[in-house]
Chain A
Amino acid sequence: MNINLTLISQAVAFAIFIWFTVKFVWPPLRTAIDNRQKTIAEGLAAAERGKTDLELAARRSADVLRETKEKSTDILAQAERRAQQIIEDAKAAARVEADKVVVSAKAEIAQEVERAKQGLRERVAELAMTGAEKILRREVNATAHADMLAALKQEL
């Protein structure tokens, strides 16, 4: 249990082991641990960023969806309005056309009536003439009474 030279040799061994640890053991492990810490920190930051990005994207997509919905509703309303208008237009056009057809039909009918009247008039005059001729054959000359007949025809 006496102090002897072992003391010095142990101190030397201790110094060598300390030197070895300081020089060769500590620095590489420190570097490795520090690098890993940095990598993990970066990874966590990236994950955080990703989460934020995702949130942003979700919000944006919701916005876009809402906008699209609004737009489609607008388009639908517009289309409906347009269809209504087309129907109205068509109705108006049809009414005009119908009126035109009626008017022309009425005119034609009037013409027809006029023509029939003319024919009848002529036919009545003829008939009157024929009757008169038959009556007057014996007593009146046709030519002598032509003026009177013409006036009669006009009155009909």
Chain B
Amino acid sequence: MSAAESLTPTSYITHHLSFLQQPVAQGDFWTLNVDTITVSVLLGVIAFGFLWWVVRGATSGVPGRRQAFVELAVEFVDDQVKGIFHGDRHAFVAPAALTVFVWVLLMNAMDFLPVDWMAGLYAMLGLHKFRSVPTADINTTFALALAVWFLMLFYSVKVKGLGGWLHEMFCSPFGSHPLLWPANFLLNVIEYVSKPLSHSLRLFGNMYAGEIIFLLLGMWAATGLAGTVFGAILGAGWAIFHILIVVLQAFIFMMLTVVYLSMAHESH
């Protein structure tokens, strides 16, 4: 945003909620949100690079502090998966859950960075539009939810066979009587549609709302010194509350991933 424009609440919020976009072809769809991709990939590379670095030197003996920390996270995820998924969880489901949890947690945690400081920092780097929180971009949450959805379909068909899956689509949950087939099928389709929607929108809504509330609280600063102090106090309160939301949403996202994948492995 240029200095010549007047600073109104609308322009302030719009400025903070604009993506750094790069069109790659004609059409609205063929655009990349460079900020989302950069931050999320950077976080992923750092997180999983760190995990890989620790795990490569993992010892069966007394673990060091770094290894103990990683093991704590892994055991936490593994315990959750153990309670839900009955099968060989080490082959795929548990590591996938770890990936989801760590990555989403870090992407959510970007919300802790003070919005205006980050905007200033990005402006110094010549980026006037840049959003720090990848999970406040619906593309990210939809991408994750859809990936889980496709995995769900894949495992449904793989475990039960195509016939078994189709049988389940038409014969559960009400029964296998032909008259009940349409009802069964309709319900299953609704379920398949609603799963990725609720999965992705829950995370997106929480993170987007969190970001907007930070921006609204930031606007207190426009009312003078008292407003700045007041806004800072409220902002601190919201940030503390947000710690809970960030971790909880990452946890819920992981749990739903595990639940969906384990439902795909079990026949009704």
Q: Is the CB of A33 within 8 A of B147?
A: no
A30 to B36, CA, bound (A): 32
Q: Is the CB of B37 within 8 A of A9?
A: yes
Q: How far is the CB of A37 from chain B (nearest CB, A)?
A: 9
Interface residues on A, range: 20 to 34
A18 to B29, CA, bound (A): 26
Enumerate A81-126 residues with CB–CB distance to B below 8 Å. Answer: none
Q: Is the CB of B142 within 8 A of A7?
A: yes
Q: B24 near A: Cβ within 8 Å?
A: yes
Q: Is the CB of A14 within 8 A of B52?
A: no
Q: How far is the CB of B207 from chain A (nearest CB, A)?
A: 13
Q: A151 near B: Cβ within 8 Å?
A: no
Q: Residues 21-50 of chain A: 1 if any B CB is under 8 Å from the residue's CB, otherwise 0?
A: 110111111111101100100000000000
**What are 22 A-B interface contacts by the 8 Å CB criterion?**
A4-B29, A5-B30, A6-B33, A6-B137, A7-B146, A9-B32, A10-B140, A11-B144, A11-B146, A13-B41, A14-B103, A17-B103, A21-B51, A24-B55, A25-B51, A25-B55, A26-B94, A26-B95, A30-B90, A32-B67, A33-B71, A36-B61
B residues at A contact (CB < 8 Å):
21, 24, 28-33, 36-37, 40-41, 44, 48, 51-52, 55-56, 58-61, 63, 67, 70-71, 74-75, 90-92, 94-96, 98-99, 103, 134, 137-140, 142-144, 146-147
A residues at B contact (CB < 8 Å):
1-11, 13-15, 17-18, 20-22, 24-33, 35-36, 39
